[in-house]
Amino acid sequence: MPSAVTPNAAVRDAARSILEAANSRAALPADVAVDQFRPPCTSDWPLVWPTGTDIAKYDTSGYPKLVHSATGDDFFTYQLSPELRDRPGIDLPSAA
């Protein structure tokens, strides 16, 4: 896997779809192996964690449940936690 895989998930997904289609038609170039484009990807985590001040502006009546959902409710529990759990340098309890 190249070390500079794009952190853009939509671009990675589109590229993988094309490569999977080529693979299913036995049309991959000879020097391309499926493990080069199948997960897991090794791109750097592009996110800079927001500070408490950054988050506070969204913890208002204008964004009902946004902060709670992203820091402790179902979205955090079932979507974010599994994705972040094994990432190096991520302190999951402090991310919530």
- The position carrying tokens 């402090």 is 94
List pLDDT tens digits, range 4-63.
Answer: 677 777 888 899 999 999 999 999 999 999 998 888 777 666 667 778 888 888 888 788
Phi-psi region of 60 (alpha: psi -120 to 50; beta: other; left: phi over 0): beta
- In our burial notation (b when 16+ CB lie closer than 10 A, e otherwise), range 74-96 reads eebeeebeeebeeeeeeeeeebe
Domain boundaries, position 74: 52-95
Please check whether residues 3 and 40 belong to one and the same domain: yes
- The position carrying tokens 């190249």 is 2
Please check whether residues 62 and 91 belong to one and the same domain: yes
List pLDDT tens digits, range 36-49.
Answer: 888 877 766 666 77
Please check whether residues 32 and 65 belong to one and the same domain: no
Please check whether residues 35 and 3 belong to one and the same domain: yes
Q: How much is the pTM?
A: 0.46
How far lies 2's CA from each of 8, 33, 38, in Å?
15, 12, 12
Report the domain count for the chain: 2
Please check whether residues 91 and 63 belong to one and the same domain: yes
